[in-house]
């Protein structure tokens, strides 16, 4: 039954004139819910009941039109006592004039006051509640509006404990530009309880009984979407046969060998993430996921609320992350870390994170120094080397054995001053190749040096061969002797093991091939075989500044893994062949190939498996050293 239908601006003003109330309420019944709409009387032009469409239409602020189905309206009335209502008290920013400065309180300039926004924190909403007055003061920071607006007003809609705040800009003329405004909103008749604020399409939950003031930042937010049913019963006990088909992950979960860890798809500002094969109880109660954001890192952790049964299951857990900006984020999903690139615009494409080694660009330094400055009259010059020639450090790195994560920094790279740097990671067996690229569309007439950092994930405790912007080195932490491994590759001659020949001959008694248990797992440094005629051969490439050196007939054992080490000691390049792993009692001889980098066209002294010689690469590029 409709109690009141106002049909004209005259009726509106007559009712308003007998009351001090400045708020018109429209009570609507929709899908069983009672929705209370509040309008500022000053912005309403007229209210009409359109019989042909069975609608009640509110005309406001010259060009706004709000239509309701007549059969859904319970009543239209004026009151300052009933229902949540409010007004926009102050406006700051853009062409509106005054800023809010101290209008929010006597101590509003205090750095601890949440009403003082910070550009670094990207504050978009602050609130402060007065329980005595039952008044909630909101500050909407950098709210978008038209440059030619004539002030602001506000509409409200309240259903249950949800308050929909709708700022409305006054004025008829619209400009082709957008401004940002700070709007101070006062809401009345607010109880000290939990509310959900709806603002500009986003939801903000506040509990005024617990937290009477606070703020919200413009950062990604996430929500649990769903989980799959139990995909398979993993095990009744760890000793079961089925349990052997699973491997333990670093976060104490169980995952099928070689299976998918995470899949995700991107949309405008959102990312739908599926964490695969999470191990939870067969009777988990509810499976949920929690999203936490720290700077540019998004953490997603899934969990169970109960564990009532004596068995475990595998589940897929889906989480939606919203409010992502057009930049790169680091996602850590149930311990699996990877990079989501929102600048790629690969919307709808499915990305898969598999078990195993992987990597992605992390960050780039600012320009460390400008090398060619057009303002000084110098023309733009293209660098002839990847790195600045005078650099000391080429590459630095660290790795965490427990988490399998690490970082590689490529130092002092020469790129255009306006470069937009990125890195690409490719992994082939035990070789990790990292290459820096420039994605910028424009170029300046100057060059800079940069440090570019790449993150690596899923590394196993074994030996890896790295090629980082042309700099090669080996990193071996298979004999785990520390948790964190750190290293630096300096701009000096450095060498990497390339290969070894098969066993060329030696003691070949079958009984002697049993590993010597007293020496297993140690590094065994070889020596030159007495029967060797050719000791060393070398070949230098002046274009790459590399020299390939072969050490012939190095005496090692029949077992183990052959390698070589290179050190720069006392102005000499010392290369030694060695063997790790199981050491046998029988002997073999091997040819060991090592590549030495960073060599200039000058004289060097080499000590290769005990044999010393000198070579001047400005005079010759290849040769042989014989006994």
pLDDT at 15: 46
542 and 569 in one domain? yes
Mean pLDDT of 541-566: 89
Sign of the CA dihedral running 277, 279, 280, 286: negative
> 151 pLDDT exceeds 70?
yes
CB 294 within 8 Å of CB 305: no
CB 287 within 8 A of CB 304: yes
| Residue 323 · residue 220 · CB < 8 Å | yes
Domain that holds residue 445: 361-491
> Which of 452, 470, 491 is at the close of a domain?
491
Candidate from 35-44, 240-249, 315-324 with smallest mean pLDDT: 240-249
- What total number of domains does the chain contain? 5
pLDDT (0 to 100) of residue 221: 86
Is the same domain home to 418 and 448? Answer: yes
Query: Does residue 386 lie within any of the structural domains?
Result: yes
Worst-scoring range by mean pLDDT, 32-36, 406-410, 537-541, 552-556? 32-36
> Is 435 part of a structural domain of the chain?
yes
Domain-embedded: residue 2: no
Judge whether residue 99 has pLDDT over 70: no
User: What is the pLDDT confidence band of residue 496, given thresholds at 50, 70 and 90?
Assistant: confident
Query: 476-488 pLDDT, tens per residue?
Result: 877 677 888 888 9
Question: What pLDDT is stored for residue 510 in this prediction?
Answer: 43
| % of the chain exceeding 70 in pLDDT | 81
Both 113 and 159 in one domain: the answer is yes
Residue 417: is its pLDDT beyond 80? Answer: yes
| Together in a domain, 501 and 592 | yes
Summarize pLDDT for 284-295 with one digit per residue, the tens.
999 999 999 888
Residue 100 lies in a domain: yes
Would you say residue 543 lies in a domain? yes
Residue 206 pLDDT > 60? yes
β partners of residue 538: 549, 623
Give the distance from CA 577 to its chain's centroid: 42
Residues 340 and 380 in one domain: no
Position 276 in a domain: yes
Tell me what the mean pLDDT of segment 361-386 comes to: 65
pLDDT digits (tens, 9 = 90+) for 345-354: 888 899 988 8
Helix (H, G, I), strand (E, B) or coil at 70: helix
Q: Are residues 103 and 184 in the same domain?
A: yes
Beta strand residue intervals within 201-242, DSSP E: 202-207, 213-217, 221-227
Q: Has residue 3 been placed in a domain?
A: no
Please write the tens of the pLDDT for every residue from 305-315.
988 888 889 89
Q: Supply the CATH number for residue 16's domain.
A: 2.30.30
pLDDT computed for residue 244 by the predictor: 44
Mark whether 385 and 441 lie in a shared domain: yes
Q: Strand, coil or helix: what is 11?
A: helix
Over residues 41-67, mean pLDDT: 76
Residues 179 and 261 occupy one common structural domain: no
Q: Do 103 and 193 fall into the same domain?
A: yes
Residues 576 and 618 in one domain: yes
Residue 381, token pair as written in the block: 């010059």
Q: Over the chain, what is the mean pLDDT?
A: 79
pLDDT of 549 > 90? The answer is: yes
Out of 308, 328, 355, pick the residue that ends a domain. Answer: 355
End-to-end CA distance of the chain: 113
State if pTM tops 0.85.
Answer: no
Q: Given 340, 355, 370, which residue is the final one in a domain?
A: 355
Q: Do 270 and 286 fall within a single domain? A: yes
Ranking 9-13, 33-37, 299-303 by mean pLDDT, the lowest is: 9-13
Q: What is the pLDDT averaged over residues 193-206?
A: 85
pLDDT at 234: 62
**196-205 contact pairs (CB < 8 A, 24+):** 196/161, 196/162, 196/163, 197/125, 197/138, 197/162, 197/163, 197/165, 198/162, 198/163, 198/164, 198/165, 199/125, 199/140, 199/165, 200/143, 202/323, 204/125
Q: Record the tokens describing residue 552, joined without a space.
A: 């012939």
pLDDT digits (tens, 9 = 90+) for 585-604: 788 999 999 999 888 888 99
355 or 229: which carries more pLDDT confidence? 229
Say yes or no: 91 and 53 in one domain. no
């Amino acid at each position: 039954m409709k109690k009141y239908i106002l049909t004209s601006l005259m009726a509106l003003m007559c009712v308003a004139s007998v009351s001090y109330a400045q708020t018109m309420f429209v009570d609507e019944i929709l899908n069983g819910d009672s929705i209370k709409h509040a309008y500022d009387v000053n912005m309403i032009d007229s209210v009409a009941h359109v019989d042909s469409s069975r609608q009640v239409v509110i005309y406001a602020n010259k060009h706004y039109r709000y239509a309701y189905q007549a059969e859904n309206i319970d009543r239209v009335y004026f009151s300052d006592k009933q229902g949540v209502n409010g007004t926009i008290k102050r406006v700051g920013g853009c062409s509106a004039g005054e800023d809010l400065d101290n209008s929010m309180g006597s101590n509003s300039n205090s750095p601890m006051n949440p009403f003082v926004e910070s550009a670094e924190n990207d504050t978009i909403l602050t609130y402060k509640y007065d329980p005595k007055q039952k008044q909630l003061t909101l500050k909407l920071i950098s709210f978008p509006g038209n440059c030619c607006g004539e002030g602001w007003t506000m509409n409200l809609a309240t259903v249950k404990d949800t308050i929909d705040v709708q700022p409305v800009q006054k004025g008829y003329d619209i400009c082709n530009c957008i401004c940002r405004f700070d709007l101070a909103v006062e809401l009345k008749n607010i109880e000290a309880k939990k509310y959900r604020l709806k603002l500009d399409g986003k939801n903000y939950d506040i509990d005024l009984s617990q937290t009477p003031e606070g703020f919200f930042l413009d950062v990604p937010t996430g929500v649990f979407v769903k989980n799959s049913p139990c995909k398979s019963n993993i095990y009744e006990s760890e000793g079961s046969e089925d349990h052997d088909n699973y491997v333990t992950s670093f976060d104490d979960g169980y995952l099928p060998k070689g299976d998918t860890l995470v899949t995700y798809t991107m949309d405008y500002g959102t990312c739908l993430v599926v964490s695969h094969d999470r191990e939870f109880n067969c009777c988990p109660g509810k499976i949920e996921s929690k999203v936490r954001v720290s700077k540019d890192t998004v953490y997603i952790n899934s969990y169970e609320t109960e564990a009532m049964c004596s068995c475990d299951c595998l589940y897929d857990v889906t989480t939606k992350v919203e409010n992502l900006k057009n930049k790169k984020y680091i996602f850590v999903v149930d311990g699996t870390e990877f990079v989501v690139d929102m600048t790629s615009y690969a919307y709808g494409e499915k990305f898969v994170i598999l078990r195993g080694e992987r990597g992605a660009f992390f960050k780039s330094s600012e320009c460390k120094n400008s090398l060619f400055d057009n303002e000084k009259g110098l023309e733009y010059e293209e660098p002839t080397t990847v790195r600045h020639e005078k650099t000391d450090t080429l590459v630095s790195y660290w790795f965490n054995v427990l988490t399998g994560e690490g970082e590689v920094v490529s130092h002092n790279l020469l790129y255009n001053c306006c470069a937009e740097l990125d890195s690409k990671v490719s992994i082939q067996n035990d070789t990790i190749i990292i290459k820096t690229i420039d994605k910028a569309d424009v170029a300046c007439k100057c060059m800079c040096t940069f440090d570019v950092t790449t993150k690596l994930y899923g590394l196993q405790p074994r030996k890896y061969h790295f090629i980082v912007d042309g700099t090669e080195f080996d990193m071996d932490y298979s004999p785990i002797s520390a948790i964190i491994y750190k290293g630096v590759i300096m701009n000096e001659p450095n060498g990497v093991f390339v290969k070894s020949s098969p066993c060329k001959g030696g003691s070949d008694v079958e009984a002697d091939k049993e590993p010597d248990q007293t020496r297993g797992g140690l590094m065994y440094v070889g020596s030159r075989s007495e029967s060797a005629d050719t000791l060393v051969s070398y070949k230098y490439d002046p274009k790459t500044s590399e020299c390939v050196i072969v050490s012939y007939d190095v005496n090692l054992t029949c077992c183990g893994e052959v390698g070589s080490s290179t050190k720069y000691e006392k102005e000499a390049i010392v290369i030694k062949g060695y063997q790790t792993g199981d050491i046998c009692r029988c002997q073999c001889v091997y040819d060991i190939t090592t590549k030495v980098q960073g060599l200039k066209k000058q004289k060097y002294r080499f000590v290769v498996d005990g044999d010393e010689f000198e070579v001047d690469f400005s005079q010759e590029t290849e040769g042989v050293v014989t006994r």
